[in-house]
Structure formats: structure tokens, C-alpha cells
């Protein structure tokens, strides 16, 4: 009765260890604010196709091309396949290892007693199975599966970065193209004014200094135009790389930022962000993988119990030092191996301490990523709010700059204006025009930044 009770207690302990030894670690607590500090206008929830909200078919096609051809995305997909294979290998380690084999050996010997020749052979089906009493195998599977999930999340991070990179670069190309157009208009205007100055000089209504100044303006505008054209070519090449194309193989058709409308996106609640950011899911998976490594390192301190067995045909059927059963017949073996490390120079403790340190690192990293994600959204919302307040002032500045230049040129041409006023009006118009272009670019990129900060419509699958 005592033996039965002991067996029952031992069995209960094994079941308890089996069920409780390997569990995912709870996520660390991070204080999440109940709402965003920056206000936001009503809008729709961000989706995985948020980029369609800008109303550009060209941008949609470029992003679709990047999904197919971007090399970073293809490399990330390959890493997912690697992690998936490792996870399947870790799960396979929990199952018995079954092998089939055959062998044959011929023995011959001669002594004073005579000559003997014997041939032994066997065909066996063998199996071995390590009992996972301490959860080492299940911990390895937990770690591998978490790494696989982390790799999938990392791929989503790369995809989101690629899509936002394409959108931002595309808008930069269009903004630079606007600057090229502004530079061309400024150059044409400066050349017309130079003609007026030279005509006035021909009738002694202006002085050589005014002619020299305007010629300098024309030359500087020509240099500026070439610089901006070079910037446009460089940005188009960068966009080609993002979409997996050869630089110079295509060009952007759009040429006005005013043709795009930033989509209105609702940020939702801060707590919802924890399930919408792939980098947060990646940090969580890294933490779970580190926890699995800790469990493996702790289980390595306990004995490893392995069952082995084989069945098949052999000749001789039993070969032993005491008795040999000659002839061909069925044979089977069964064994139990228990291995316990006695001395390893502190290696197991070092592995465990390293795993614990790695887990602490991942806890800190997870908390950091949570805070950074909250900060990203706050910054994006604040930028959008600030930029929306500037729209009327930016448009008014350009309109007033055009009127000021036209008036200054008319007065100068009529002989009642100051040439320095014309030069100042020229510079002011160029400045406000480029400011308007940069403002529109900032609004578009702020919308892209908000969509990226909100996870780009990515949803964590459980």
C-alpha cells in the first residue's frame, strides 16, 4: 500500500511539473495614459491600406511594387521561413526519434583449436525518447515559437517602414519638383527684370550697379535651379531603390503637392496601441523567447531520462557474454538511461545567469518600446495640430508676396520705384513659395508619420 501511495504521489508530481513548468511570462506593467494630450480631429481608424487616403493612384502603384520587389522585405520573409523551420524543429524534439537500420559483420579466426568463420547481421527498428520531466523540451519549443512570432512581427515592421519610406520619398520628389518649377519661374522673372534694367540703363534711367546686381541675381538663380534639379534626381533614385527598380528607369508623374489630401486618422485610445504596433509585438515575442531560454537553462540542472528500444531480426538472435542464441530470429531491446551532471565547472550556472540577464534586458526593452510608441503618436498628433493652424497664413503669405513683387516691378518700370525694393520682393516671394511647399510636404509626412505611429493598420494575431 505504501508503494502504491508513493507511486501515486510521484505521478502527481510529474503531472504537476509537466503542466506548470513551462508557462509564458506575464508582460511587465507599464503606465499607459487614459488619453492623448494632443487633440485630434474626428477621423477613421487607420487600416493596412491607409496610403490610399492620399488619393494618388501613382502612390498606390509604387507601394504595390515595393511590396513585390523591395529587397528588405524579401530578406525579412526569408528570415520568417528560417524561424518557422527552427520552431518546427524544436517541436519535433518532443517526439520520439525512430530510425531503421541494417548491419552485417563477418568474423574469421584461426588458432590451434581450428578455424572459425561466422557472419552476424541484423535489421532493426530503433526508437529513443527523452522524457521531458522538467520541461526542457517544451521550453525550447516556447522559445522557438516566440522567435518565430517575433520574426513575423519584424517582417511587419520592415513592411511598415518600407511603405512609409515610399510615401515620404514620393512626396519629397514632388516637393522638390515644385521647387524646380519655382526656380524656373524665378529665373524667368529675373531675366525679364534684367531686360528692363538693361533697357533703362540704355537710356540712362538706371546705373551700372543695378545692372550688375540683377545679373548676379540671374546667375545665382541659375545655380540654384541646377542644385534643385540634382536633388530631384537623387530623390527619384532613392524611390527607385525602395520599389526595387533600377535608378533612372522611371520617373514620378505628379508635380504638385496640392493635388494630395492628407487623410484624417483617428488615433483611438493609448491602450489600444499595444495591439496595433508590430514593434511592440516583436518586443513581446523577444521577451517570451528569453523566458523560454531561462526555463531551458534551469531544466538543464536536473537529470535527463531517456528511453531506448529496438525490435527486428538478427543473427544471432541474442548475443551476450553469458548465453548466445544462435540462428536468425526476432530480437528486441529496451533500456533506460539517466544522466545527471555532477561537475561542469559552473557552465550550467553561467548559462542560466546569461539567460536571466537576457530576460531582464528584454523586459527593459519592452517597456522602452511602449513608451516610444506613445511618444511617436503624441508627436505626430501635435505636428498635425500645429500644421493645420498654419494653412491660411501660408497661403496668404504667397498671395501677398506675388502682389508685392508685381507692384514693385510696375513702379520700378514706371520710374517711380526703388530697385532694391524689387530685389527684396523677389527674394521674399521665393522664400514664401518654398515655405508653402515645405509646409504642404510637412502636412503630408505628418499624416504618414501618424499612420506609422499607429501601426499602419497592423493587427496582432493571437
Q: From CA 150, how far away is CA 59, in angstroms rounded?
A: 29
Taking all residues of the chain, what is their mean pLDDT, rounded to a whole number? 86
Phi, psi of 204 (to 5 degrees): 60, 30
- Which residues have a Cβ under 8 Å from the Cβ of 294 and sit 6 or more positions away? 352, 355, 356, 358, 359
- Which residues have a Cβ under 8 Å from the Cβ of 135 and sit 6 or more positions away? 17, 18, 21, 22, 295, 299
Q: From CA 240, how far away is CA 110, in angstroms rounded?
A: 81
State the average pLDDT over residues 364-385.
Answer: 92
Query: What was the pLDDT predicted at 360?
Result: 95
Please calculate the CA angle 440-445-447 and round it to the nearest 5 degrees: 100
- For residue 277, give the C-alpha cell: 504596433
- Picking from 89, 26, 19, the residue whose alpha carbon sits closest to that of residue 287 is 26
State the average pLDDT over residues 79-104.
Answer: 91
- For residue 449, give the C-alpha cell: 508619420
State the average pLDDT over residues 349-360.
Answer: 94
Angle at which helices 71-92 and 136-202 cross, to 10°: 170
Residue carrying C-alpha cell 530576460: 359
Percentage of residues in the chain having pLDDT higher than 90 = 46
State the average pLDDT over residues 187-193.
Answer: 83
User: What's the pLDDT band for 82 if we cut at 50, 70, 90?
Assistant: very high
- In this predicted model, which residue has the larger pLDDT, 320 or 376? 376
The DSSP bridge pattern shows strands 265-266 and 329-339 to be: unpaired
pLDDT digits (tens, 9 = 90+) for 380-413: 999 988 888 887 888 788 888 888 888 887 887 7
User: What's the pLDDT band for 138 if we cut at 50, 70, 90?
Assistant: very high
3 state DSSP class of 265:
strand
User: What's the pLDDT band for 461 if we cut at 50, 70, 90?
Assistant: low
- In this predicted model, which residue has the larger pLDDT, 1 or 320? 320
For the ranges 173-187, 283-297, 447-461, the one whose mean pLDDT is highest:
283-297
- Picking from 60, 283, 44, 307, the residue whose alpha carbon sits closest to that of residue 167 is 60
- For residue 405, give the C-alpha cell: 513683387
Q: From CA 19, how far away is CA 200, in angstroms rounded?
A: 97
- Picking from 301, 295, 303, the residue whose alpha carbon sits closest to that of residue 130 is 303
State the average pLDDT over residues 336-345.
Answer: 91
Q: What is the number of other CB atoms lying within 10 angstroms of the CB of residue 206?
A: 19
- In this predicted model, which residue has the larger pLDDT, 421 or 370? 370
Query: What was the pLDDT predicted at 389?
Result: 83
The fold of 30-94+118-303+340-453 is: Outer membrane efflux proteins (OEP) (1.20.1600)
**DSSP letter assigned to residue 259:** G
Domain boundaries, the chain: 30-94+118-303+340-453
Query: What was the pLDDT predicted at 7?
Result: 42
Q: From CA 446, how far away is CA 272, in angstroms rounded?
A: 21
Q: How many CA atoms lie within 13 A of 153 on its CB side?
A: 23
State the average pLDDT over residues 264-284.
Answer: 89
pLDDT at 313 over 70: yes
Query: What was the pLDDT predicted at 20?
Result: 46
Percentage of residues in the chain having pLDDT higher than 70 = 94
Query: What was the pLDDT predicted at 462?
Result: 53
- Which residues have a Cβ under 8 Å from the Cβ of 424 and sit 6 or more positions away? 408
- Which residues have a Cβ under 8 Å from the Cβ of 30 and sit 6 or more positions away? 366, 367, 370, 371
- In this predicted model, which residue has the larger pLDDT, 445 or 437? 445
pLDDT at 2 over 70: no
Query: What was the pLDDT predicted at 16?
Result: 41
State the average pLDDT over residues 323-339.
Answer: 85
Residue carrying C-alpha cell 505636428: 383
pLDDT at 69 over 90: yes
pLDDT at 92 over 60: yes
pLDDT at 18 over 60: no
Print the SS3 string covering 211-225: HHHHHHHHHHHHHHH
List b or e across 426-454, with b for residues whose CB sees 16 or more CB atoms inside 10 angstroms: bebbbebbbbbbebbbbbbbbbbbbbbbb
**DSSP letter assigned to residue 25:** P
Q: From CA 157, how far away is CA 151, in angstroms rounded?
A: 10
Let me know: does 171 contact 195? Beta carbons within 8 Å: no
User: What's the pLDDT band for 195 if we cut at 50, 70, 90?
Assistant: confident
pLDDT digits (tens, 9 = 90+) for 207-226: 888 889 888 988 998 999 99
- In this predicted model, which residue has the larger pLDDT, 40 or 159? 159
User: Partners of 102 in the beta sheet?
Assistant: 123
Print the SS3 string covering 135-202: CHHHHHHHHHHHHHHHHHHHHHHHHHHHHHHHHHHHHHHHHHHHHHHHHHHHHHHHHHHHHHHHHHHH
ω into residue 283 within 30 of 0, thus cis? no
- For residue 273, give the C-alpha cell: 496601441
Query: What was the pLDDT predicted at 409?
Result: 79
- For residue 130, give the C-alpha cell: 527523452
Sign of CA dihedral 375, 380, 381, 382: positive
Alpha-carbon distance values, 454 to 45, 95, 157 (Å): 9, 42, 12
Amino acid at each position: 500500500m505504501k508503494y502504491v501511495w508513493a507511486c501515486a504521489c510521484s505521478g502527481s508530481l510529474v503531472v504537476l511539473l509537466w503542466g506548470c513548468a513551462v508557462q509564458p511570462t506575464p508582460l511587465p506593467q507599464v503606465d499607459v495614459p487614459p488619453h492623448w494630450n494632443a487633440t485630434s480631429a474626428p477621423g477613421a481608424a487607420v487600416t493596412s491600406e491607409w496610403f490610399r487616403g492620399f488619393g494618388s493612384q501613382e502612390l498606390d502603384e509604387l507601394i504595390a511594387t515595393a511590396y513585390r520587389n523591395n529587397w528588405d522585405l524579401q530578406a525579412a520573409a526569408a528570415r520568417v521561413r528560417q524561424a518557422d523551420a527552427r520552431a518546427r524543429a524544436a517541436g519535433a524534439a518532443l517526439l520520439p526519434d525512430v530510425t531503421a537500420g541494417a548491419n552485417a559483420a563477418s568474423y574469421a579466426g584461426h588458432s590451434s583449436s581450428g578455424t572459425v568463420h561466422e557472419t552476424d547481421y541484423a535489421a532493426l527498428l530503433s526508437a529513443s525518447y527523452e522524457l521531458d520531466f522538467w520541461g526542457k523540451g517544451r521550453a525550447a519549443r516556447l522559445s522557438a515559437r516566440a522567435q518565430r512570432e517575433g520574426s513575423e512581427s519584424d517582417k511587419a515592421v520592415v513592411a511598415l517602414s518600407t511603405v512609409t519610406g515610399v510615401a515620404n520619398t514620393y512626396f519629397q520628389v514632388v516637393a522638390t519638383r515644385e521647387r524646380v518649377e519655382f526656380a524656373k519661374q524665378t529665373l524667368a522673372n529675373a531675366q525679364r527684370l534684367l531686360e528692363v534694367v538693361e533697357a533703362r540703363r540704355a537710356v540712362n534711367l538706371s546705373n551700372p550697379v543695378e545692372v550688375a546686381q540683377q545679373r548676379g541675381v540671374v546667375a545665382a538663380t541659375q545655380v540654384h535651379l541646377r542644385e534643385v534639379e540634382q536633388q530631384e534626381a537623387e530623390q527619384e533614385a532613392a524611390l527607385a531603390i525602395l520599389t526595387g527598380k533600377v535608378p533612372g528607369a522611371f520617373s514620378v508623374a505628379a508635380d504638385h503637392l496640392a493635388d494630395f489630401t492628407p487623410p484624417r486618422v483617428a488615433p483611438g485610445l493609448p491602450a489600444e496601441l499595444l495591439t496595433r504596433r508590430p514593434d511592440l509585438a516583436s518586443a513581446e515575442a523577444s521577451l517570451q523567447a528569453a523566458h523560454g531560454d531561462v526555463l531551458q537553462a534551469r531544466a538543464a540542472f536536473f537529470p535527463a531520462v531517456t528511453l531506448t528500444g529496438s525490435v527486428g531480426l538478427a543473427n544471432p538472435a541474442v548475443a551476450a557474454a553469458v548465453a548466445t542464441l544462435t540462428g536468425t530470429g526476432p530480437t528486441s531491446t529496451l533500456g533506460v538511461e539517466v544522466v545527471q551532471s555532477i561537475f561542469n565547472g559552473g557552465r550550467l550556472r553561467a548559462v542560466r545567469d546569461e539567460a536571466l540577464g537576457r530576460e531582464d534586458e528584454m523586459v527593459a526593452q519592452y517597456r522602452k518600446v511602449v513608451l516610444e510608441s506613445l511618444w511617436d503618436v503624441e508627436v505626430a498628433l501635435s505636428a498635425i495640430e500645429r500644421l493645420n493652424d498654419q494653412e491660411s497664413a501660408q497661403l496668404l503669405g504667397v498671395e501677398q508676396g506675388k502682389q508685392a513683387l508685381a507692384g514693385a516691378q510696375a513702379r520700378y518700370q514706371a520710374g517711380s520705384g526703388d530697385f532694391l525694393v524689387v530685389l527684396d520682393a523677389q527674394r521674399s516671394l521665393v522664400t514664401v513659395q518654398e515655405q508653402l511647399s515645405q509646409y504642404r510636404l510637412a502636412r503630408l509626412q505628418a499624416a504618414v508619420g501618424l499612420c506609422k505611429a499607429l501601426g499602419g493598420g497592423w493587427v496582432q494575431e493571437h
